[in-house]
Amino acid sequence: DSYKYPRIKLEKLKLISRRHEDALKEKVIIANMTSRLEAFYDKGEYLAAKSTIMVADSELDLMVLTGILNSKLLTFYYRIKYKSTQMQGGALSLSKHRVQNIPIPDLNDEIINKIKKTVKRLKKDFNQNDIECLDDIVYKLYKLTEDEQKYLKSFNI
């Protein structure tokens, strides 16, 4: 069980590292060296592992950032923009600086609420319908045309 669900008590973490402060922060944990952007919203329960990027200081609501990062569009964007940094097998090499420089359009309350609701649903039950719903919200946010949306939907990410 300890290999399936590794845990360290906060008291012990404090003895060996100052990273316990990171564990208690609201943050987005982003997997590094994966074939697509994979972000996880954490309200302050997890410690980001060595091969992850942690974003805790963002002007954008972190749950909204999580939703946008997990979209097909953002993986596509990142693959094009940072093509030269990809590993031989196609894994993306992420950095906090690159993630924080992803252009995010102006958000209204309706979009923010839709993204947050979808991220909450996905956190409870990861399913294809909500993934596609999130993609559709992000396509509209970035004002993609029908043809652009169709292309991305057919793109294998």
**Residue with more model confidence, 114 or 50:** 114
Global confidence as pTM: 0.86
Say whether pLDDT at 4 is over 60: yes
Average the pLDDT over 60-69 and give the result.
Answer: 95
List Cα–Cα distances, 51 to 17, 32, 34, in angstroms.
17, 6, 10
- How high does pLDDT run on average in the chain? 88
What residues contact 98, with CB distance under 8 A and at least 6 apart?
Answer: 78, 81, 82
Say whether pLDDT at 2 is over 70: no
Q: What was the pLDDT predicted at 17?
A: 72
